[in-house]
Amino acid sequence: MKAGTGRGGGARRRVLAALAAVALTGGAVAGAVVVASQAGAATTTLRSLAEAKGKYFGVGAEESLLTGNSSYANIAATQFDMITPGNEMKWASVEATQGTYTWGPADQMVAFATANNERVRGHNLVWNSQLPSWLPGSFTSAQLQALLQKHITDEVTHFKGEIYTWDVVNEPFNGDGSYVQDLWYNAFGGNNYIADALTWAHAADPNALLCLNDYNIEGVNTKSTAMYTLVKSLLAAGVPISCVGLESHFVLGSVPSDMQTNIARFAALGVHVQITEVDDRILLPATTANLAQQATDYGNIVTACLGVTLCDGVTVWGIDDGNTWVTSTFPGYGAPLMWDANYVTKPAYNAVVTALGGTVSSTSASASASASATGGGSSGCTVAYVPNQWTGGFTANVTVKNTGSAAWSAWTVTFAFPGDQKITNAWNATTTQSGAAVSAVNMSYNGSVAAGASTNFGFQGTWTSSDASPTSFKVNGTTCT
């Protein structure tokens, strides 16, 4: 099956609108961060490393953060090449009032993805959770069957040609391998709702891959074997199933050692496997040892997927520890993602870069090494400058660590560009540039940096003859190491 090729009229209109917006504004689509072609990129990104291995690297994102949080949007635009709307395509989001569709937020995410040369996973069509309030408890079985067919047909048709893979049915199994006896199971008198849903989705967009998606099916166990048996029987019956999604919401240290074996047994059936919602929650507080274990876990997940050709890629369920469903869903747990709440990369990020065959940038490695080696000096700092460049343009993320013993209540970072860069916009700092000299001052919300803590800002700009990175930085007048 060839995925994601066709384009419906609606899809074409939205893409053209996005491209027109790029042309008019020189880069920004409705506030979205746009990154031009990755060709010639000087720096490692998860997406470029994954693509070199024939995989994607995706993120489960939220439209409100893409538009309201520029640090988040910048990472979503540069590090990933697949986006899953975290909630925006769920039934409760698209049809809160019966008969009235609200496609706006999901459409905007598709436009963001398109503008940044990323693909989209559709999530999800059939689930017993996040249903509109008008739906459960109000209809007969026959009515529910008709409503489900209409929902699937209308939503898949709306996004026809824009979706690489749909999670058609979400979380159909209990832990013991039995079916969840939810409203769909009951209305259809059994698990045949799954075959019907796949058939309806395929009819509406024959080019999309179609997944069954569930959690705790990452290793070989009772639940994953129930999924395996179901997929096998659907294939035997000629039902258009083409993919299994392993959500991969892990508790620290619980990535099964047979994850690759499990992926391989699904692939041997001829279906794609996608790692769809990775996070790895830590019983707080996160210690150095916990973060090291988390790095091992993330590396193992990526390695398991890389080992199987039909494993298409890995999606993480969020960007930063400040914006994750884990904190509200699992009290006491947190810190499950690859960036901390200040958008500083964690050891897990470096482990994923390494697993993907990349080299961890020596600047950031030495930044953390020298930070941990620094004792009780009164003032001190390290800076990691991570550029991402293309012909004529660049972005740079700057992470500044306070390695001194006193907190900062405000900061000014100064440096000089060795090249002819011109900053056009910045996030998490106000920049002023005079010739090559740049000064970046904290915003109202990020001036405080405790001893040992880090902060992060960045900017986008243009260059003509050289985008060489600055090598010397000062914070509040003190030269950083």
Helices (DSSP H) in 88-215: which residue ranges? 91-94, 104-115, 141-158, 183-187, 192-204
Q: How far is the CB of 168 from ligand XIL (least distance, A)?
A: 12
How far apart (Å, rounded) are the C-alpha atoms in residues 86 and 83? 9
Q: What would the DSSP string read from start to end of 200-266?
A: HHHHH-TTSEEEEEESS-SSSSHHHHHHHHHHHHHHHTT----EEEE--EEETT---TTHHHHHHHH
Q: How far is the CB of 247 from ligand XIL (least distance, A)?
A: 6
Q: How far is the CB of 87 from ligand XIL (least distance, A)?
A: 5
When binding is defined by CB under 6 A, the residue of 64, 87, 149, 366 that contacts ligand XIL is 87
By three-state DSSP, how is residue 123 classified? Answer: strand
Nearer Cβ to ligand XIL (64/462): 64
Nearer Cβ to ligand XIL (246/308): 246
For 180, other C-beta atoms within 10 Å of its C-beta total: 15
Q: How far is the CB of 183 from ligand XIL (least distance, A)?
A: 17
When binding is defined by CB under 6 A, the residue of 85, 86, 122, 458 that contacts ligand XIL is 86
How far apart (Å, rounded) are the C-alpha atoms in residues 284 and 373? 24
Nearer Cβ to ligand XIL (247/297): 247
How far apart (Å, rounded) are the C-alpha atoms in residues 464 and 12? 33
Q: How far is the CB of 162 from ligand XIL (least distance, A)?
A: 19
Nearer Cβ to ligand XIL (86/470): 86
- Number of residues in contact with ligand XIL, rule: CB under 6 A? 6
Query: Which 95-134 residues touch ligand XIL, going by CB under 6 A?
Result: none
Structural element, H or E, at residue 373? helix 362-373
Query: Which 248-277 residues touch ligand XIL, going by CB under 6 A?
Result: 277
Q: What is the DSSP letter of 314?
A: E
Closest by Cα among 340, 347, 231, 257 to 298: 347
| CA distances (Å), origin 136, targets 153, 169, 381 | 20, 17, 56
User: Does residue number 247 form part of the binding site for ligand XIL (CB under 6 A)?
Assistant: yes
Structural element, H or E, at residue 291? helix 288-306
Nearer Cβ to ligand XIL (79/216): 216
Query: Which 307-346 residues touch ligand XIL, going by CB under 6 A?
Result: 325
- DSSP tally for the chain: helices H, then strands E: 15, 19
Residue nearest to ligand XIL (CB): 325
Q: How far is the CB of 294 from ligand XIL (least distance, A)?
A: 19
Between strands 437-441 and 412-416, the pairing is antiparallel
Nearer Cβ to ligand XIL (87/303): 87
Cα first-last separation, the chain: 53
User: Does residue number 279 form part of the binding site for ligand XIL (CB under 6 A)?
Assistant: no
273 and 266 Cβ atoms separated by less than 8 Å: yes
Nearer Cβ to ligand XIL (113/413): 113
In the numeric block, the tokens 């969020």 are attached to 318
Q: How far is the CB of 120 from ligand XIL (least distance, A)?
A: 15
For 130, other C-beta atoms within 10 Å of its C-beta total: 12
Active site residues: 171, 277
Query: Which 335-394 residues touch ligand XIL, going by CB under 6 A?
Result: none
Q: How far is the CB of 242 from ligand XIL (least distance, A)?
A: 19
Q: What is the DSSP letter of 29?
A: B
Nearer Cβ to ligand XIL (21/180): 180
Torsion of CA 135, 141, 145, 150, to 10 degrees: -40
Query: Which 158-217 residues touch ligand XIL, going by CB under 6 A?
Result: 170
Q: How far is the CB of 269 from ligand XIL (least distance, A)?
A: 22
Nearer Cβ to ligand XIL (122/393): 122
How far apart (Å, rounded) are the C-alpha atoms in residues 142 and 62? 34
Interaction site with ligand XIL (CB under 6 A) = 86-87, 170, 247, 277, 325
